[in-house]
Amino acid sequence: MSTNINPESLLSVLLWNANGTIQHTNGLQIILQLRKIDIALITETHLTPTKSIRIPGYILYRTDHPDGTAHAGTAILVSTDIEHNVLPQPISLLPTCGKLFEKLLLKRLSPIVSEKKIIPNTQFGFRSYHSTIHQVHRLTDYISSSLETKQYCPRAFLDVSQAFDRVWRDGLLVKSKLFLPAPYYLILKSYLEERFFAVRHGNSMSNYHKIIAGVPQGSDLSPILYNIFTYDIPQTTDTILATYADDTAILSSDNDPQIATQKVQNHLNLISSWTNQWKIKLNQTKSTQINFTLNRRECPPLVLNNNPLPNSSSIKYLGITIDKRLTWKEHTTKKRKQCNARLHLLRPIFKSKLSLKNKILIYKVILTPIWTYGIQIWGQAKLSNIRPLEAFQSISLRVITGCPWYVTNQNLHNDLNIPTPKRLAHQYYKIFHNKLSKNKNPLISQMSSLTIPGNPIRRLKRKWPRESLNQ
């Protein structure tokens, strides 16, 4: 395979951890000229508003440390021969040694947290072999069982305000000290404390302020630190608790709507006291209640901090829209609209002279993941609710191929070897179900059963995800 690449079109890029650029300016200038470097990416510049460097033939873009002292900082040197645009946005990079330190510390903390079983089984976020699909499957299993038995299933969805930014550091350190060895605890304490920030706007700089809450955004350690901070969230035997990072759901079921609601309310009261104790703020405007039932009677409203939760007929949980009757109609309708908008943007590409193979690849990479997310859960919805997505796929394939009107959708799918949404749902669920029994979390391994929880007598005509195993 031959490629026609013009050597003159290639850029020569230098990566350099300077540990101070001023004392190395002469050496840097020599390297740039000898190697004919086009772009130099520099970290640890140690420049200040009063100290800078100047190299002939290059333009310097820099971001110094906010406190104005000679440490940290990044810079980019661009050759004056290269035409480029400048965005008015600062660049901030963590030094390589800092990222390595975070990864090494995470590698030490994870086995301790796992061995001592600090993180509860109900927490599926930021854990290996746990996904959003597992958590949604667990909840829909419980809901489907209550629908089959004519029960009421109220559910509260709680939203935490600025979850990672408002972590109470003293509380996190108190909880960490209970199980971490002293050396790791002291390292973690040093990692969290004495952090400062300042805001630069134009040529103006704010005062230096200490960061008193939160875990570092973008850090490899932030997810596990948040899980440690929330590991003791209250649980009860009368309710089901489902957490994925800061997304929390509580539900219960009973033949009497009053009793079912009271079970959830008791759990909410415990969580409300717990959040107040650990300085966690719940966003009451985004927290909602939804009552899963096929009955006409409604469940009483749930109350959080003396305020009733807004009642809704559907809720978007972990990217999947769940309606009160578990029909998935609203979810597939929203996905169809989302796919239509994306297809509109891709039409010029699909109608271009690009090869058919590449067009199909673009469809599979960009469009297919939008509507197939969670298909293991909603893939057994009735045909009238699946049809909008089947129609979308057929339209997309016709746009891609430009086939005549008399070519049937079935022949189009067969010729391109692309499965229909219904067939794809069967394939995805079988693969998903085969892995459940091997999971170490008992809440996930229990889902490997061939029936919904409790194995109730089937009275509804609708199909549940496990029926894909028999097709």
Q: How many residues does the chain have?
A: 471
Q: Which residue has the tokens 């040197």?
A: 77
Q: pTM for this structure? A: 0.79
- Separation CA 153–CA 336 (nearest Å): 29
- Separation CA 155–CA 83 (nearest Å): 57
Mean pLDDT in residue range 46-59: 83
pLDDT in tens, 308-333: 999 999 999 999 999 999 999 999 99
Predicted pLDDT at 1: 45
DSSP 8-state assignment for residue 187: H
Give residue 93's Cα distance to chain centre. 22
Mean pLDDT, the chain, integer: 89
Mean pLDDT in residue range 5-14: 71
One domain for residues 299 and 166 = yes
CB atoms < 10 A from the CB of 250, how many? 27
Number of domains in the chain: 3
pLDDT in tens, 347-378: 999 999 999 999 999 999 999 999 999 999 99
Q: Given a cut of 90, is residue 47 above it in pLDDT?
A: no
Predicted pLDDT at 454: 86
One domain for residues 219 and 350 = no
Could you tell me which residues are beta bridge partners of residue 311? 289
Q: Given a cut of 50, is residue 206 above it in pLDDT?
A: yes
Predicted pLDDT at 125: 92
One domain for residues 108 and 229 = yes
- Separation CA 140–CA 128 (nearest Å): 22
Residue 237 lies in a domain: yes
Predicted pLDDT at 429: 94
pLDDT in tens, 266-308: 999 999 999 999 999 998 888 999 999 998 888 999 999 888 9
Backbone angles phi, psi at 268, to 5 degrees: -60, -40
The model's confidence at residue 203, banded by pLDDT at 50, 70 and 90, is: low
The model's confidence at residue 212, banded by pLDDT at 50, 70 and 90, is: confident
Residue numbers of the domain that contains 223:
99-323
One domain for residues 187 and 264 = yes
Query: Coil, strand or helix: which one is 61?
Result: strand
Mean pLDDT in residue range 215-230: 90
96-124 core/surface letters (b: 16 or more CB in 10 A; e: else) = eeeeebbeebbeebeeebeeeebbbebbb
Could you tell me which residues are beta bridge partners of residue 315? 322
Boundary (domain end) residue, out of 49, 79, 109: 79
Backbone angles phi, psi at 51, to 5 degrees: -125, 125
One domain for residues 173 and 214 = yes
8 Å CB contact between 151 and 265: no
Predicted pLDDT at 468: 82
Of 59, 63, 62, the C-alpha closest to 38 is 59
Q: Given a cut of 80, is residue 257 above it in pLDDT?
A: yes
User: Kind and range of the H or E element at 314?
Assistant: strand 314-317
Give residue 357's Cα distance to chain centre. 31
Mean pLDDT in residue range 426-446: 94
Query: Coil, strand or helix: which one is 18?
Result: coil
CA distances from 156 to 30, 169, 242, 418, 427 (A): 65, 28, 10, 39, 32
- Separation CA 302–CA 268 (nearest Å): 8
Boundary (domain end) residue, out of 323, 339, 366: 323
Point out the least confidently predicted range of 112-121, 214-223, 233-242, 437-446: 214-223
Of 339, 335, 420, 425, the C-alpha closest to 380 is 425
pLDDT in tens, 73-104: 888 888 888 877 665 544 455 677 888 889 99
One domain for residues 111 and 22 = no
Residue 183 lies in a domain: yes
Residue 173 lies in a domain: yes
Predicted pLDDT at 91: 46
Backbone angles phi, psi at 469, to 5 degrees: -70, -20
Q: Given a cut of 80, is residue 170 above it in pLDDT?
A: yes
One domain for residues 119 and 186 = yes
Q: Which residue has the tokens 């550091």?
A: 169
One domain for residues 128 and 258 = yes
One domain for residues 190 and 308 = yes
One domain for residues 344 and 212 = no
Boundary (domain end) residue, out of 297, 323, 349: 323
One domain for residues 108 and 142 = yes
Residue 92 lies in a domain: no
Residue 93 lies in a domain: no
Return the percentage of the chain with pLDDT > 70, whole number: 94
Top-confidence residue, 57 or 291: 291
Predicted pLDDT at 87: 58
Residue 200 CB partners (closer than 8 Å, separation 6+): 66, 90, 206
Residue 450 lies in a domain: no
Q: Given a cut of 90, is residue 412 above it in pLDDT?
A: yes
The model's confidence at residue 67, banded by pLDDT at 50, 70 and 90, is: low
Token pair recorded at residue 332: 């597939």
Top-confidence residue, 251 or 29: 251
Q: Given a cut of 80, is residue 413 above it in pLDDT?
A: yes
pLDDT in tens, 376-395: 999 999 999 999 999 999 99
One domain for residues 114 and 234 = yes
Top-confidence residue, 16 or 445: 445
Token pair recorded at residue 295: 């009955």
